[in-house]
Structure 1
Amino acid sequence: MPATRKLLAVLATALIAVTMGATAAAAKPAAPAPTFTNPLKAQGPDPWLTYYSGYYYLATTTWNNTITMRKSRTLGGLKTAADTLLFTLSRPNGAGTMWAPEFFLLNGPNGPRWYFYYTAGREPYNLGTQRIHVLESAGLDPMGPYTFKADLLDPQQDTTWELDPSILQLNGNLYLLGTFYNGSQPMFIRPLSNPWTANGTRRTLSTPTYGWETVGGAVNEGAEVLQRNGKTFIVYSASHCSTPDYKLGMLTYNGGDPLLSSSWTKSPAPVFQRNNAAGVYGPGHNGFFKSPDGTEDWIVYHANSSASGGCELNRSTRAQKFTWNANGTPNFGVPVGAGVAIASPSGEPAS
Structure 2
Amino acid sequence: MARRSRRSWLSMVVMSVVVMLAAGLVSVNSATVASAAGTFTNPLVQRGPDPWMQYFNGFYYLATTTWNNTITMRRSRTLAGIATAPETVVFRLTRPNAAGTMWAPEFHLLDGPNGRRWYMYYTAGREPFDLNSQRIHVAESAGLDPMGPYTFKADMLDPVQNNTWELDGSILRLNGRLYLLGTFFNGSQPAFIRPLSNPWTASGTRRILSNPTFSWERVGGAVNEGPEVIQRNGRTFIAFSASHCSTPDYKLGLLTYNGGDPLNSSSWVKSPQPIFTRNDAARVFGPGHNGFFKSPDGTEDWIVYHATSTPGGCDLNRSTRAQKITWNADGTPNFGRPVALGTPLPAPSGEPAE
TM norm structure 1: 0.90
Equivalent residue in structure 2 for 1:222, among 216, 226, 231: 226
Report % sequence identity. Answer: 76
Give the equivalent residue in structure 1 for 2:97: 93
1:49 pairs with 2:53: yes
Q: Name the amino acid aligned to 1:177.
A: L
For structure 1, the 5+ residue unaligned runs are: 1-31
Q: Name the amino acid aligned to 1:316.
A: S
Shift of 1:126: 1.7
Measured in 1, the distance between the counterparts of 2:189 and 2:212 equals: 7
SS of 2:65's partner is coil
Give the equivalent residue in structure 2 for 1:348: 351
Give the equivalent residue in structure 2 for 1:330: 333
> 1:259-338 alignment to 2 at 5 Å?
259-308=263-312, 310-338=313-341
Give the equivalent residue in structure 2 for 1:108: 112
> 1:50-129 alignment to 2 at 5 Å?
50-129=54-133
Measured in 2, the distance between the counterparts of 1:87 and 1:59 equals: 11
Give the equivalent residue in structure 1 for 2:169: 165
1:127–1:161 Cα contact (<8 Å) kept: no
Q: Name the amino acid aligned to 1:252.
A: T
Measured in 1, the distance between the counterparts of 2:37 and 2:162 equals: 52
Q: Name the amino acid aligned to 1:127.
A: L
CA offsets 1:125-151 (integer angstroms, 9 cap, x no match): 122100000000000000000000000
1:128–1:160 Cα contact (<8 Å) kept: no
2:49–2:306 Cα contact (<8 Å) kept: yes
Measured in 1, the distance between the counterparts of 2:300 and 2:55 equals: 12
Shift of 1:95: 0.8
The higher radius of gyration belongs to 1
For structure 2, the 5+ residue unaligned runs are: 1-35
CA offsets 1:52-88 (integer angstroms, 9 cap, x no match): 0000000000001011000000001000001001111
SS of 2:281's partner is helix
SS of 2:145's partner is coil
> 1:1-20 alignment to 2 at 5 Å?
none
Measured in 1, the distance between the counterparts of 2:315 and 2:341 equals: 18
Shift of 1:33: 5.3
1:33–1:343 Cα contact (<8 Å) kept: no
Measured in 2, the distance between the counterparts of 1:296 and 1:59 equals: 21
Question: How many equivalent residue pairs?
Answer: 319
1:34 pairs with 2:38: yes
SS of 1:262's partner is helix
Equivalent residue in structure 2 for 1:241, among 242, 245, 265: 245
Measured in 2, the distance between the counterparts of 1:33 and 1:154 equals: 48
TM norm structure 2: 0.89
